[in-house]
Structures are given as C-alpha cells and as structure tokens.
Amino acid sequence: MSSKPALVVEDLAFAYPDGHQALFGVNLRIAAGERLALLGPNGAGKTTLVMHLNGIHGAQHGYVEIDGMRIDVNNKAGLKQIRSTVGLVFQDPDDQLFMPTVFEDVAFGPRNMGLSPSEVEVRVAEALSRVGMSHFAQRPPHHLSFGQRRRVAVATVLAMNPSILVLDEPSSNLDPASRRELAEILQALPITLIMVTHDLPFAFELCERSVILAEGTIVADGSTPQILRDQALLERYRLELPKGFTL
C-alpha cells in the first residue's frame, strides 16, 4: 500500500435543496491501495459522501481530491477523468444495468471513453473474467440472479480500469454463497476500495480500516477490529454484530 493519498476529503459540507444538511465538515484521507469500510446508521450521510467522490454531487464547502486532482463539477473534461478513476457501484444493480446483454452493459463505459472495438472487447473480457461472469456475456441481465447482476454491475465499473472502487452496500440482499463469492472477487482486486455497509462481518473480512459517520460527521476512525471490539461505540451508533460472531 502506498503512502500517497488516493483520496482527500477536506472540510466537506453539503445541504440538499430542501435545506437538509447531510454533511458537516467531513475530513478523510485514504492511501492508495487501502481498503476502508464506511459505517454508520441510516441517515448518517454515507451515500451523500460517496456521491461526492466521483462528482455526482459537487462540494458546496470544502473539496474532494482524487490522486491530487480536485473535483470540479463544472470542468467536464476533468469530471470525465475523475469518473474513469473512481468507479461507483450502486446498491441496486438494476440502476447500472440497462442494455440488452451483459456484454453491452460492460462495454458501455469503455465505448464512451472512445476506445477502439478491439480494446473494448479486451476490457469487457477482462472485467467479466474478474467477476466470474465470462460465460454470461450474451445473456440479458434481467435473466440473471440478483447476485449475478451485482457481479455484472461491478464488471461495468472494472471495465473502466478505475484505481478506486466505491461500493454502496455490496452485500445487501445476497444469499450466503453469493456473498462469499463477491467477497472473494473483491479481495482479489488490486485496487483502493471504499465500501459503505451495515454488514459488519463483511467489513471485517474485506477492510483493514473503518470509519463511522453519524449526523454528517466522522465520529470514529481506526482499524476495523478496533472499531468492532468497541461495544459501547457500536451501540451508540446503532451498529450490531450478528449474535455469535467473534473477531
């Protein structure tokens, strides 16, 4: 893991048009190659924060930098570069899958980058191989299981060759086998990983560091075992380990 920050969030604040203040001066630094779990109760601002990491939301106060490049939502060329660097996988895979076949879905991003047909073929093949879905390239996404669709959604992002992968609740609604398969896929990726999750065992398995976000601010930051062993901290922010789970 490099000591160079892959991502810097500095004094980030954001309010929605209805006046709801979602973030209050968030500060966060993540090193290249680090794996971080973003924990916290519902309504803490986790999804709002990750939507700043590739410019879906623009900073109203403070800033976000990716590999030293500050995100400016008004800079279209810069935003295109940021979005190829930071891949965001949404909680619902159907928000990312809209083409007639798996191949077309995974090819969509590389084609928009202006890659040649042969380069697109290579990107798609590599991405589907990484998620174990090579044999499903010509299948309609809606014919796949939920777990398979989630893996294809990850492939659509990997095809862009990002250096940072951001996942919103990646283990939600997965059966135990699909959850294990996804964990193995994510563990094998040589990438900076940021994962929003309520699944504390999944965070423990995949991320060496965790932060807790509550009411728009970071209230805890430490190694994942350290965070998960602090029962009072977990209770304060409505986080629970499954009964019988041991660290």
For a pLDDT cut of 90, what percent of the chain falls above it?
90
pLDDT higher than threshold 80 for residue 4: no
**pLDDT of res. 158:** 97
- Answer yes or no: is pLDDT of 6 > 80: yes
Question: Which domain, by its residues, includes 71?
Answer: 5-236
**Residue 122 within any structural domain of the chain:** yes
Pairing between strand 209-214 and 192-196?
A: unpaired
Specify whether the CB–CB gap between 81 and 75 falls below 8 A.
Answer: no
Paired residues of 222 in beta bridges = 210
Residue 1 scores a pLDDT above 60: no
Q: Strand 61-66 and strand 69-70: pairing?
A: antiparallel
pTM of the model: 0.92
Whether 183 is in a domain gets the answer: yes
What is the number of other CB atoms lying within 10 angstroms of the CB of residue 245?
11
Neighbours of 238 (CB within 10 A): 12
CA-CA distance, 58 to 56, in Å (whole number)? 7
What does the pLDDT read at residue 72? 92
Is residue 244, in this structure, part of any structural domain at all?
A: no
- β-sheet bridge partners, residue 221: 211
* CB-CB neighbours of 180 under 10 Å: 13
CATH number at residue 203: 3.40.50.300
| Gyration radius from the chain CA atoms | 18
Distance CA 65, CA 120 (A): 28
Task: Return the closest-CA partner of residue 105 out of 137, 57, 58.
Answer: 137
| Residue written as token pair 């895979």 | 93
In a domain, 245, yes or no: no
pLDDT band at residue 3, thresholds of 50, 70 and 90? Answer: low
Q: What angle do CA 235, 241, 244 make, to 5 degrees?
A: 125
How high is the pLDDT of residue 133?
Answer: 96
Identify the pLDDT of residue 195: 97
Q: What percent of the chain has pLDDT over 70?
A: 99
For 192, the token pair is: 């900076």
- Residue 58 in any domain: the answer is yes
Q: What is the pLDDT of residues 32-46, one digit of tens each?
A: 999 999 999 999 999
> Is residue 243, in this structure, part of any structural domain at all?
no
Cα distance between residue 27 and residue 185, in whole Å: 29
Domains in the chain, number: 1
In which residue are the tokens 């500060």 written?
27
Residue 136 is predicted with a pLDDT of: 97
* pLDDT tens digits for range 65-116: 999 999 999 998 899 899 989 999 999 999 999 999 999 999 999 999 899 9
Name the phi and psi angles at 164, rounded to 5. Answer: -130, 130
- Average pLDDT of the chain, as a whole number: 94
Distance of alpha carbon 72 from alpha carbon 92, whole angstroms: 27
What ranges in 42-196 are assigned the alpha helix state H? 46-50, 76-85, 102-112, 117-130, 146-158, 176-187
**Amino acid present at 17:** P
Residue 141 forms part of a structural domain: yes
Residue 13 lies in a domain: yes
